Amino acid sequence: MGRSLAIALARQGANLVLAARQHTALEEVADACLAVGGKAISVPTDVTQPEACQQLIEQAIATFGHIDILINNAGISMLTTFDQVTDLSIFEQVMRVNYLGAVYFTHFALPHLKASRGLLVAISSLCGKTAVPTRSGYVASKHAMHGFFDTLRIELRGTGVDVLVVSPGFVATDIRQRALGSDGKVLGQSPRDENQNTMSTDECVRQIVWAMERRKREHLMTLKGKITPWAKLLIPGLVDKIAAHAARTTVFEGK
């Protein structure tokens, strides 16, 4: 998703600072951005390290002079029921990447965003709006992300900085194949049929850019995603039953 979003923004002439752990992959994305008319630098970064996040922001300012938009997109998932977990460190790992990484980057970027009256973007998930069995750590991290950015939106009223939280559903990425299992190891394959009810990366990116252009406060993808928060208020028990049924019908190996 990050790659596709970067290229889409590059087509609009954006100056991009790309962050991820893998240097080679970053360079490939930067080259793709340059090829479509954007400007891009790649900065290998571990988002779980505050110092690394600070250095990236400093390099962005040194290269381009200002920051207009910060997109927090780093994410990792976990797939196992809680009673099967044998390595509790996966909860800390997921929280550090999905939640604290966004906190760190936002902290160091915020003075520059205030100066530019910029936009904060959090790529969250529909899991941040409701409970999803077998994803307790991931759900918790996305709920934390939602709470943080919703609070920040209120605190930043009057500063000119807008906060957008985007919540995709199932998107055709490798996040589920790379999810952590009960023992903390990467699963290697998705437990669900990726050919069913999965949004294309291009469509997901189109919606993200659409929401960014309008500086929306929140964007929920899919009809189910829009209905579920209201259903939780009116018929919470039924929503739980539907979620439980969906988990039972998913092919899943808790290992």
pLDDT of residue 116: 98
pLDDT band at 193 (very low <50, low <70, confident <90, very high): low
Mean pLDDT confidence for 227-242: 83
pLDDT band at 248 (very low <50, low <70, confident <90, very high): low
User: Secondary structure of the chain: what % helix, strand, coil (to 5)?
Assistant: 50, 15, 35
55-114 residue pLDDT tens: 999 999 999 999 999 999 999 999 999 999 999 999 999 999 999 999 999 999 999 999
DSSP per residue, 161-185: -EEEEEE--SBSSSTTTT-B-TTSS
Instruction: Lowest mean pLDDT of 41-45, 180-184, 189-193, name the range.
Output: 189-193
pLDDT of residue 178: 77
Task: Please determine, for residue 220, whether its predicted confidence score (pLDDT) is greater than 60.
Answer: yes
pLDDT band at 195 (very low <50, low <70, confident <90, very high): low
Which residues make beta-bridge pairs with 62? none
pLDDT band at 240 (very low <50, low <70, confident <90, very high): confident
pLDDT band at 255 (very low <50, low <70, confident <90, very high): very low
Catalytic residues, by residue number, are 138
pLDDT band at 172 (very low <50, low <70, confident <90, very high): confident
Task: Please determine, for residue 191, whether its predicted confidence score (pLDDT) is greater than 70.
Answer: no
pLDDT of residue 32: 97
Residues in Cβ contact with 248 at an 8 Å cutoff, skipping those fewer than 6 apart: none
Residues in Cβ contact with 107 at an 8 Å cutoff, skipping those fewer than 6 apart: 50, 53
Task: Please determine, for residue 225, whether its predicted confidence score (pLDDT) is greater than 80.
Answer: no
pLDDT of residue 223: 82
The pLDDT mean for the chain works out to 91
Q: Are strands 15-20 and 162-167 parallel, antiparallel or unpaired?
A: unpaired
pLDDT of residue 159: 98
Please give the domain boundaries of the chain with CATH numbers for all domains.
45-248 (3.40.50.720)
